[in-house]
């Protein structure tokens, strides 16, 4: 079983977001980066578990990005991936990224391609579906359970206000949501071994860009909180009804 | 022409569909073109979409479309886009929409913006869409330059507006490809509004001390007709189901009212909820960071305050 896990690099979750002078790019000074939590905690770990259960197969992680992403990729190797691929391209839209991943995946045919349900920076939830379309395989979004028997997978996924269980044959792609696996912390041995695992840098394919960020802005500052006497909830209800007009 | 894919669940439309048509209608006005809608599978009285601004409603009524498969849906919608000559396609940013948008973009080789929260602008012919980024900590204004443009709209960001009357529904003849997935079971919670759609949300955190104490939160939610949510540690330890987890690594929501009891307001929690129109924080610690993000604050013990609030709402409803 050949498993491909697509991992993205995102600012660490406590990052205070600010932009450069003309509001066109993130001010990256002092920003710490992590592997996108959904990719790391759920997608990667579930892929590793499947390989361990089968006692065979490989888990490859792939990232589209510059050399500065290597530490994040190495973490994926430390958690347990067998090898890593970085497609050497800095920036680009979701469709660019999907086209890069699809080009690599087509050449190296995988049984399953894993994504996180979205990145915590762009919050697009697009790359998985795009890649699946380019590969012409089914895509199961927001998977919370995945069991594999032979070449058939049974997957439970979140849908609006509930869940759905379905069957799909390999090859397919999925996006991982909470519940699919439990986060793994890399241990010392993993970190040491990661240094010797292959991280192959692959040249990017030609793509066209259809979207461009014109500018960023920050939410308006909240005005100061209005404190309400804890004994007087009638007053809170009055404010919610007459002032905020939400009830 | 702007084409809106109006989602139906078991043949009926939810609020997301009306929001999407309203969004499509307003987008079409900006561009000076017509707005039309497409429905897939069975849909009772699809003509109702006319009320929200669809000048025409197209339906591909093939029975196999009653089961959602993003791959099949994207193929059918892409064929409709080509057949009808649509230049802008609007979807809802729901789990259904998310499984289609990316596929459509790849299939049509078109630029897409997911999760828009405002009607596009077209100043100087630059089609630009605003969306939240960094899990609600900021917004981006994104231009789409391809011939066909795809946008999905976030729930609760554009209220549905009735602008006209019902229209006739016309059948669209498109071959439906076979699905490669087999749905075994679908379960939906009855009677509760799912979090992404909810206008009123009551949320609680570790300050609750244990799952056995959630009765007061459920009672408040029931009195308000609200959906319940929780902070991440609460769902991590299994006090609450994971689909209630809101925040940067949970669901991002934007209800009209978000009431948070016993939640400290960590930056990752705020990221997913700070687009809420009104935030009420109940916390016994006056220094809790959540108060900085709140509109109304109650410094007190939630075990006293929450039941009191429930009672006050009951009184208010009785007038
Ligand atoms: C990578 C990463 C991602 C994360 N993503 C998320 C996310 O998506 N969502 C999320 O919620 N968190 C997330 N977190 C966790 C976040 O950092 C906080 O730890 C978490 O939100 C705290 O939950 P809490 O407010 O329920 O608990 P606590 O921080 O323990 O706060 C409990 C609060 O309850 C108050 N309290 C206690 N007793 C009472 C009482 N009797 N009456 C009134 N108030 C009382 C206390 O004063 C305190 O403010 C993430 C963390 C990381 C590292």
Which tens digit of pLDDT belongs to each residue from A115-152?
A: 999 999 999 999 999 999 999 999 999 999 999 999 99
Q: Is B79 on the interface with A (CB under 8 A)?
A: no
- In a domain, residue B40? The reply is yes
- In a domain, residue B187? The reply is no
Confidence of residue A231 (pLDDT cuts 50, 70, 90): very high
Mean pLDDT of A26-36: 96
Q: Is the pLDDT of residue A29 over 90?
A: yes
Q: Is the pLDDT of residue B10 over 90?
A: no
State how far the Cα of A224 lies from the Cα of B295, in Å rounded to an integer: 7
pLDDT at res. A131: 98
Q: Is the pLDDT of residue B35 over 90?
A: yes
Same-domain status, B34 and B165:
yes
- In a domain, residue A230? The reply is no
- In a domain, residue A243? The reply is no
Q: Is the pLDDT of residue A22 over 90?
A: yes
Residue ranges in B32-183 assigned as alpha helix (H): 70-84, 95-108
Mean pLDDT of B3-9: 95
Same-domain status, B211 and B116:
no
Mean pLDDT of B143-167: 97
Check pocket membership of B263 for ligand 1, CB cut-off 6 A: yes
User: Atom 31 (ligand 1): residue with closest C-alpha?
Assistant: B264
Same-domain status, B18 and B167:
yes
Last residue of a domain, one of B123, B138, B171: B171
- In a domain, residue A165? The reply is yes
What's the domain range around B297?
195-318
A 128-167 residues with CB < 8 A to B: 128-134, 138-142, 144, 154, 157-167
| CA angle B268–B270–B273, rounded 5-degree value | 120
**How many structural domains compose chain A?**
1
- In a domain, residue A73? The reply is yes
* CATH code (residue B92): 3.40.50.620
Same-domain status, B166 and B43:
yes
pLDDT at res. A91: 83
Same-domain status, B71 and B217:
no
- In a domain, residue B139? The reply is yes
Residue ranges in chain B assigned as alpha helix (H): 15-31, 70-84, 95-108, 215-224, 232-236, 267-273, 302-318
State chain B's mean pLDDT as an integer: 96
Q: Is the pLDDT of residue A208 over 90?
A: no
- In a domain, residue A208? The reply is yes
Same-domain status, B150 and B226:
no
Last residue of a domain, one of B171, B187, B205: B171
Q: List pLDDT tens digits, range A33-89.
A: 999 999 999 999 999 999 999 999 999 999 999 999 999 999 999 999 999 999 999
Q: Is the pLDDT of residue A220 over 90?
A: no
State how far the Cα of A65 lies from the Cα of A72, in Å rounded to an integer: 11
Q: Are B130 and B118 in contact (CB under 8 A)?
A: yes
**How many structural domains compose chain B?**
2
What's the domain range around A88?
2-218
Q: Is the pLDDT of residue B291 over 90?
A: yes
Same-domain status, B67 and B216:
no
- In a domain, residue B185? The reply is no
Confidence of residue B190 (pLDDT cuts 50, 70, 90): confident
* CATH code (residue A126): 3.40.50.620
Confidence of residue B182 (pLDDT cuts 50, 70, 90): very high
Contacts of B268 in chain A (CB under 8 A): 13-14
Q: List pLDDT tens digits, range B54-105.
A: 999 999 999 999 989 999 999 999 999 999 999 999 999 999 999 999 999 9
pLDDT at res. A136: 98
- In a domain, residue A237? The reply is no
Same-domain status, B147 and B216:
no
* CATH code (residue B291): 3.40.50.1220
- In a domain, residue A226? The reply is no
ipTM of the complex: 0.95
Same-domain status, B97 and B214:
no
pLDDT at res. B114: 98
Same-domain status, B76 and B152:
yes
Confidence of residue B281 (pLDDT cuts 50, 70, 90): very high
Same-domain status, B228 and B133:
no
Instruction: Quote the pTM value.
Output: 0.95
Mean pLDDT of A15-37: 95
pLDDT at res. B168: 96
Last residue of a domain, one of B134, B156, B171: B171
Testing the interface with A: which of B67, B75, B106 to mutate, by most A Cβ within 10 A? B106
Same-domain status, B165 and B230:
no
Mean pLDDT of B158-186: 97
Whether A126 and B105 lie within 8 Å, measured CB to CB = yes
pLDDT at res. A222: 83
B 290-309 residues with CB < 8 A to A: 291-301, 304-305, 308-309
Pairing of strands A162-169, A152-159: antiparallel
């Amino acid at each position: 079983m050949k498993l491909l896990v697509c991992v993205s690099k995102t600012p660490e979750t406590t990052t205070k977001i600010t932009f450069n002078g003309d509001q066109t790019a993130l001010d990256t000074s002092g920003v710490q980066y992590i592997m996108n939590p959904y990719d790391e905690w759920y997608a990667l770990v579930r892929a590793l578990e499947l390989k361990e259960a089968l006692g065979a197969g490989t888990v490859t992680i792939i990232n589209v990005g510059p050399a500065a992403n290597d530490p994040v990729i190495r973490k994926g190797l430390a958690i347990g991936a067998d090898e890593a691929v970085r497609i050497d391209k800095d920036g680009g839209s979701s469709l660019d990224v999907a086209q890069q991943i699809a080009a690599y995946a087509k050449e190296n045919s995988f049984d399953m391609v894993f994504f996180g349900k979205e990145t915590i920076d762009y919050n697009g939830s697009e790359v998985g579906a795009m890649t699946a379309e380019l590969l012409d395989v089914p895509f199961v979004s927001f998977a919370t359970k995945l069991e594999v028997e032979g070449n058939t997978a049974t997957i439970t996924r979140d849908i609006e206000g509930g869940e759905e269980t379905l069957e799909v044959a390999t090859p397919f792609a999925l996006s991982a949501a909470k519940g699919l696996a439990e986060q793994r912390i890399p241990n010392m041995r993993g970190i040491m071994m990661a240094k010797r695992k292959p991280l192959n840098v692959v040249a990017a394919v030609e793509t066209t860009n259809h979207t461009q960020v014109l500018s960023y802005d920050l939410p308006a500052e909240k005005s100061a909180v209005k404190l309400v006497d804890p004994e007087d909830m009638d007053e809170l209800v009055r404010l919610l009804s007459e002032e905020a007009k939400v009830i | 022409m702007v084409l809106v894919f109006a989602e139906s669940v078991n043949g009926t439309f939810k609020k997301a569909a009306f929001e999407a048509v309203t969004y499509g209608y307003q987008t079409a006005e900006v561009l000076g073109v017509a707005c039309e809608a497409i429905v897939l599978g069975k849909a009772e009285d699809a003509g109702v979409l006319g009320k929200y601004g669809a000048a025409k409603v197209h339906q591909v009524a093939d029975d196999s479309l009653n089961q959602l498969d993003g791959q099949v849906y994207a193929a059918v919608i892409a064929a409709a886009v080509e057949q009808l000559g649509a230049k802008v396609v609007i979807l809802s940013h729901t789990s259904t929409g998310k499984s289609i948008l990316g596929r459509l973009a790849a299939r049509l080789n078109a630029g897409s913006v997911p999760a828009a929260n405002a009607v596009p602008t077209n100043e100087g012919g630059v089609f630009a869409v605003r969306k939240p980024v960094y899990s609600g900590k900021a917004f981006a204004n994104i231009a789409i330059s391809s011939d066909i443009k795809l946008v999905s709209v976030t729930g609760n960001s554009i209220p549905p507006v009735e602008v006209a009357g019902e229209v006739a529904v016309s059948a669209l003849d498109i071959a439906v490809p076979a699905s490669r997935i087999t749905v075994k079971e679908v379960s939906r919670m009855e009677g509760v509004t799912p979090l992404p759609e909810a206008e009123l949300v009551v949320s609680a955190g570790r300050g609750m001390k244990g799952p056995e104490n959630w009765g007061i939160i459920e009672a408040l939610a029931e009195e308000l007709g609200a959906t319940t949510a929780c902070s991440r540690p609460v769902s991590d330890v299994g006090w609450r189901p994971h689909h209630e987890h809101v925040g940067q690594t949970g669901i991002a929501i934007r209800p009209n009212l978000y009431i948070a009891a016993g939640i400290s307001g960590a930056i990752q929690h705020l990221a997913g909820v700070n687009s809420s129109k009104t935030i009420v924080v109940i916390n016994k610690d006056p220094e809790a960071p959540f108060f900085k993000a709140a509109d109304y604050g109650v410094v007190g013990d939630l075990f006293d305050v929450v039941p009191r609030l429930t009672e006050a709402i009951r009184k208010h409803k009785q007038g």
